[in-house]
Chain A
Amino acid sequence: GDSVTQMEGPVTLSEEAFLTINCTYTATGYPSLFWYVQYPGEGLQLLLKATKADDKGSNKGFEATYRKETTSFHLEKGSVQVSDSAVYFCALRGSGTYKYIFGTGTRLKVLA
């Protein structure tokens, strides 16, 4: 079945450092790919998405490119801030389905 694998955390960075959180997936067809973020004490919210190969999703300085050849959707940000400290979840929705499959989440801690 479909699955998502993302790097384990926690990831600890200094402010203004470059961030990469790896995410790879297994799915048939052409899934839609998502990154959700959960800030402390809040519910999950959509950060960005991409619905077809080579699409780049972006929001709040974060980017991720849908790479079908490597089945990846890595999350990147050029300069992180303390306020980016949160848990990040990679997810997919298989083509023609309603089910969203989530990764285990990666906790990011940014130090001032």
Chain B
Amino acid sequence: GAGVSQSPSNKVTEKGKDVELRCDPISGHTALYWYRQSLGQGLEFLIYFQGNSAPDKSGLPSDRFSAERTGGSVSTLTIQRTQQEDSAVYLCASSLGGSWNTGELFFGEGSRLTVL
């Protein structure tokens, strides 16, 4: 597709279950970001990928959160043993990266996670 695609768009889960959120960036975009948007809060940085490597994981809230990116394309954010405070919209964004980066992030529509 032409844009950043995220799935699922909505996920309701029970406390303690694991969830996986998927992001398919724009083809050719080497940089990929995950953010979390909670009600009334701004966008909270979670992790950044350049290619398949993640030089900055500093935003991951706890060791229950992990992310990977394979083939320099699709990324998966995994939350283990979900808690109610994990409820939020998880946003993925991609950009060209590198010295030719225009500075524009292209966002997906997000995955809304609700933990009961």
Digitize A12-56: 1 where CB-to-B-CB distance is under 8 Å, 0 elsewhere. Answer: 000000000000000000001010100001111110010100000
* A99 CB contacts on chain B under 8 angstroms: 45, 48, 56
Given contacts A44-B91, A105-B42, contact A100 B109 (CB under 8 A): no
Write the nearest CB–CB distance from A103 to chain B, whole angstroms. Answer: 5
B113 at the interface (CB under 8 A from A): no
- Chain B residues contacting A51 (CB-CB under 8 Å) are 103
Q: Given A98-B31, A99-B45, A104-B41, A44 and B107 touching (CB < 8 A)?
A: yes
B43-80 interface (Cβ within 8 A of A): 43, 45, 48, 50, 56
From the candidates A32, A45, A93, A102, name the one contacting B43 in the complex (CB within 8 A): A102
Interface bin, chain B: 20 to 34
Q: Are B4 and A104 in contact (CB under 8 A)?
A: no
**Interface SS of A by simple majority:** strand
A89 at the interface (CB under 8 A from B): yes
Cross-chain contact of B104 among A42, A46, A98, A104 (Cβ < 8 A): A46
A103–B93 Cα distance when bound, in Å, is 16
Q: B33–A100 contact, CB under 8 A?
A: yes
For A104, give its contact among B35, B42, B56, B110 (CB under 8 Å). B42
| Complex Cα spacing A91 to B95, Å | 15
Does chain B have a CB within 8 A of A101? yes
User: Which chain B residues lie closer than 8 Å to A4 at the CB level?
Assistant: 42
Binding site for B on A (CB under 8 A): 4, 32, 34, 36, 41-46, 49, 51, 89, 91, 93, 98-105
9 new A-B pairs (CB below 8 Å) besides A100-B105, A103-B42, A104-B42?
A32-B103, A43-B4, A43-B108, A44-B93, A49-B104, A89-B42, A91-B43, A93-B103, A102-B43
